[in-house]
Every structure is written in C-alpha cells, then in structure tokens.
Amino acid sequence: MKRFPYVDRDISWLHFNYRVLQESKDKKNNPLLERLKFLAIYSNNLSEFFKVRVAHHKSLIGLRKKLKKQHHLESKKVLEHLLKMVNEQQLEFTDIFENQIVPELKQNGIDIKKRLELSPKQYVYIEDYFKNHLLPYVQPMLLVGKKIKPFLNNAALYLAVELEDKEDKVIRYALVQIPSDKIYRIVILPPSNPEMHDVIFLDDIIRHSIKDIFPGYNIIQSYSIKLTRDADLYIDDEFSGDLVEKLKKSLKKRKVGPPARLVYDRQMPKIFLKYLMNVFELGYLDIIPEGRYHNNFDLFQFPDFDKEYLKLSALVPLPIKELENTDLIFNKIKHRDYLLNVPYHSYESVIRFFEDAAEDDTVTHIKIVQYRVAGKSRIMNALKKAVSKGKHVSAFIELKARFDEEANLSWTKELKKVGVHVTTSFPGIKVHVKLALIIRQTDLGEEKYAYLSTGNFHEGTAKIYSDFGLFTYDTRLTEEAVKVFSFLENKVIPRDGFKHLLVGQFNMRQELVKMIEQEIQNANEGKDAYIILKMNSIQEPNMIKLLYKASRAGVKIDLIVRGICSLVSGVSGVSDNIAAISILDRYLEHARVFIFGNDGDEKMYLSSADFMGRNLYRRVETVFPIYDIKIKNTIRDIINIQLKDNIKARYLDFKLLNEYVCNDSFAIQSQNETYYYFKRIHKVDV
C-alpha cells in the first residue's frame, strides 16, 4: 500500500479524458466543428479505455475473487469509482452535444434531424435509402430470454426493440444491428429549405423502418445499445513455441472476448434494461448509461459542408528547406544535426531520408524500428525499393503494438516477401524504440546517419502528433545506434554498454535515477537545482517517490504531462517545489523531453519513454542526448513557451479539478506560438 500522495492511474486517465471533453466546451478558442471533433476523440478514447483498462480490472476481480476476498473488494471499489466518474462525464457529454453543439449547428445552417422532424420528401428519401442501402445489412434477432442468447459483435451498434404481437398482443423483445461499420453513420438528407443542410443518424433511419422488418408486430419503442468486449491480448507463454502463431490466435479471441461494458440509452425503461441484463448475463458493473447515440467517434465523419469558418485555420507544415530541396539529404546531415518538430515541420524530410537512401548508390544498409505504421506508407515503399536495388534492408517490427497487431503482421509478411530482413517481437517485452540508421560506403570509408525520434515512423500521425526528431551524423550517437540494432536483430548484448544513449533493458532507468539524484545532491549543497520533464504519462511509484524526495530537497521541478499523472503536485511538505500542467489543443502532445540543471551545465534528452512501469521495466526504449547547442536552445525555447501557456494548459495538482491556467500575463497558446516561432526561424511565408 502506497504511503505517499498518489493518484490511481486509471482515475488520472479519466481526468485526462475529461480535459478532452473540456475542449468541446471551449467556445472562445475552438470553432464549432472542432468542438464536435473533441467529442469524437473523447468517445474514441473512452471506448479503448473500456476495452483494455476496465476489462483488466474486471479480470482482476474475477481472479482475486477466487484468491482473496480483500483484494477482490479493493478492485471492485476502484472499478465502482471509475464507473461513477464515467457516468458523470457521460451526462455532461450528452448535455454538451444536445444543448450546445446541436443548437449551434442549427444556427449555422446544419440541422441534425430526428425521424419525427422530417419533411414528406425526406421521409420518402430515408425509406428508399433503407431499402436500397441498409436492408441487406440489417440483422433482426428476436430475443427469448436466456433460451436464445445472440452474440453481440464487439463495439457494434444495435437497436433494442420492444414489440407487440398483432395477433395475441404478447410483448416481445428484439435486436436490430445498425451497420455503421459498413455505411457512413451520418446521412445527408435532401434540404428542407435552401438555407439549411439537413443530416440524420443512420440509427434514426432504421428506427423509422423497423416496422418493415417486423411486419407482424406493432413497434412500441426502441433504444440503442452497444457492447464493448475485452480487447487485451492474453498469451499464456511468450517464451516457448511460435509467438506469431500465438498472437494470431489471441487476435481471433479479441472479437469474442468477455463483455467490458454495455452502453444503453439512459431513457430506456428499467424493466427493459433488466431484461437485456438477464439475457446477456450482465451485472451493474457491466452497464453504462449514455445518450441517444453511441459510438460517437463516428462524429469524425461529420460533414463540414465547406463551412471553413467552423474549423480552425490550418497551420501549413513548414518545410526544412535545406533538407527537402537538396539533391542528397545526407550531404546536409553530414555537416550538422537537424531538429524536426512535427506537425509544425513537414514530415517530408523524414520521407526523403529513406527515399534518398533507396536511390543513393553509396548506401549499403538501411535499418528501422517500426511500432506503428501508416496504412499507405512512402517509407515502407522506399524500403521495398531499396531491396530491389540490392541494398541490405532490415526492419524490426513490434507485433504487440496494441490495436496495430494485425497491421504489423501484414507489413511483416509484405516486407519479408520482397526480401527485407524482418525481426519481430521479443517474448515478455515490447520494443518501443523510434530509430533508423543508414550506412553508406563512400571514398572516405563507412559513414553512418541516424534519425532518432520521440514518435513513430507514421506519415499519418505526423500530421496530428507533436513529436521531436533528430537527424545526426554524430558518431557518439550513430555508433550506439548500431549497438541497438545489433541487440534487436541478433540479440547481441553490447560488451561495453551505452555511454551516450540511455536504452531500456540496459541503462535507461538507472541513468535517469542517477541524474535526479545528482539534482538532489546539488540542492543539498546549496547549488541551483532544477528538473523539467515533459511526457505523456507519469505513473511509476519509485520515480514519483524520487521526485518527491527531490522536491523536499529544494529541487525546482516543472512537469508537462499530457495524460496520466499519478504524481500529486503542490502538497505541503511533499511536493511544494513541483508544478505540473497538462496541455490539450489541436495537436496531441506526444514528445518526451527530460532536462536537468546539472549545476549550470544543463543536460537535455529526448525520449520514446514515459515514466510508466511498462516503459521503465518492460520495454526497449531509447533516450538520446542533445549535444548541438543551437538545437538545445531551440528545444528549450519550445519548452519555455509551453510552460507559459495560459490558454490551453491545465493545472495538475492535488485539487484534481483540471482548472485552466489563468494569469495576467500576455496570452500564450503554446501550439500556435510554437508554429510562429518556427516560422520566424525559417523565414517561411506560407
């Protein structure tokens, strides 16, 4: 049992997702369709949370129930608290959508219609739409108590229908699947008047046509439901047998996993809900009330009708001209390091890194680690082209990247087919490294070029995830990159370890601890001591205790944490010297930056790792130093901008209120300011 201030990781995560929900209410800074998008993001996040974290708690309850009653009660208490928070947030979600978003859409010429609000012309349209587009996919199922228990597909939408038999007047219940996985959820209707754009949810088109599916019944009422299943992968033993085959079998089981939650329309009568709970053998910890519509991540599909004023103005990615407009990118990297900060910068330079490597006759080897890959990837195409030109190409692909397992299996097969040397997952750990290495053989001998990053090699997420990347020819880093690949490809343990890179499973955690302890020593000796940490999440108890120790010693600590923050800042006598904020805005803050005062000789690192137990103990990660003074100053400027954010930053403190940072300083929205900072540096007019 922890004896220091600590917020449960899942409770903290729900506070993070509430910050996403807050963005849907920010009328001052977010145009209407952006606020709608944040509702979609919130819904998508919550769906994954139930598939993994809530399912995890339920499995613990089932296990601990057999082992020890006390542990069972503790797990149940945590789950009850999580569900209470979700219920409160869902009520607010419904209020925001129905009482803010929908009316404002109508004021702006977009009307979300319900089936009883349609014009005669629109009724004809949806009836034809149902017959021509939906009828082949609609699957009606009559329920007969526990005698027939139909299987509900994971995350699929259904209408639960109460029927009355026209002949014997007996009340029956049925389910009808809503095929939102095959047809766009939002359907554009013929306009009711020239000044309006009318749309309707697929759900309501089916509600209107239920009478055609059940001709022998009177339709009394219908309510939407959705079942989310446990989507975690359970592999009994990763250390023996064929891990790939075990992974494939586990993926098949994901679709039929035990229920994690049943969401239902909170207007559903209790007697109807109890009937469904009985049919599907669900308890009160398995059900979550929501509004009229579920799977609200489908709001990503919402049409904009070319109303650009309802969206944020685009920040066109800035080119790094020296890298993008050169004949050969390596000629530039050879002379100095280059920093990339997507999505403020264009991702084109990273793509050029691989495409030039594929074409350059002096390149002999291309090595890359892939965790998540875009569906259509120029980088992967460059790897295939390089093989066709006789180059040795190797890729380590992490097959256990959650929700990307099938895609990574597919890429593994495709790359192997064309001759790429593919290595895949280690048993027991994940490889989360973001690293690529190019080796050239020139007249001057062997040359090595590396790209180290805080984010994946993914052309899609590079447009919305904020990450740092470093192009370097510095042998201190490139030679150690070789060691990382030797370990990943051949399981060769580096004889003399790592002196510059911090690598998970080797020296990463120990070196991070050492640098924090050095700041504690500096503070105890009366020297200026400070730490700045920017990351996605901080949860690992030992690191949190160490930061509390540093705070008590007088080390000034600034944290920028997007997601989970189990550390509690601002607690008297424990964390007085720790200030923590979270920034949520148009881009997802994904970069990790670690800065240590080091008695005036500041150390700076970029990282693929958070302060989570999984990153520190169960993954191969890379933390890489920034040696170039100019780049170090640039990163410091970006961090300073974020620390001054008073538009999109929230306090992470003992109050757990997600209060926006508010002060009398000049208004700073860090993501916008970062963009214009780089625009000034590059003197780009876009």
Residues classed as catalytic: 432
Q: In what order do the strands lie in the sheet with 197-201?
A: 110-113, 197-201, 186-188
- What residues have CB less than 8 Å from 186, skipping those under 6 apart? 199, 200, 201, 202, 298, 299, 301, 302, 303
As given in the structure block, the two tokens for residue 390 are 């006789």
Residue with tokens 């008073």: 646
Tokens of 462: 């590079």
Taking 3-state DSSP, the helix, strand and coil percentages for the chain, each rounded to the nearest 5, stand at 40, 25, 35
Q: Which amino acid is at 377?
A: S
Of 362, 385, 374, 448, which is closest to residue 407 (Cα–Cα)?
374
- Angstrom distance (rounded) from CA 383 to CA 395: 9
Query: Given CA atoms 348, 354, 359, 361 in this order, what sign does their dihedral have?
Result: positive
Pairing of β 259-265 and β 217-229: antiparallel
CA 411 from centre of chain = 21
Is the preceding peptide bond at 343 cis, omega within 30 degrees of 0? yes
C-alpha closest to that of 352 among 321, 373, 375, 317: 321
Burial class (CB in 10 A: 0-12, 13-18, 19+), 607: buried
Q: CA dist 198 to 110, 118, 209, 292, 536, Å?
A: 6, 9, 19, 18, 40
Quick one: CA torsion of 666, 667, 672, 677, rounded to 10 degrees? 0
Radius of gyration, alpha carbons of the chain: 27
Residue with tokens 């209407």: 32
Residue 509's Cβ-side half-sphere holds a number of Cα atoms within 13 Å equal to 18
Tell me the backbone φ, ψ of residue 606, rounded to 5 degrees: -110, 155
Burial 251-269 (b: 16+ CB within 10 A, else e): eeebeebebbbbbbbbebe
- How would you classify the pairing of strands 392-397 and 445-453? unpaired
Number of H helices, E strands in the chain: 20, 27
Integer angstrom CA distances of residue 396 from 367, 483, 501, 502, 510 = 8, 14, 19, 19, 25
Cβ-based neighbours of 464, under 8 Å, separated by 6 or more: 343, 587, 588
**Residue 384 in tokens:** 């295939």
* DSSP code per residue over 6-69: ---HHHHHHHHHHHHHHHTT-TTTS-HHHHHHHHHHHHHHHHHHIIIIIHHHHHHHHHHHHH-H
- Per the document, the length of the chain is 686
In this structure, are residues 335 and 628 in contact, taking their beta carbons and an 8 Å threshold?
A: no
Q: Using CA atoms, how far apart are residues 137 and 183, in angstroms rounded to an integer?
A: 9
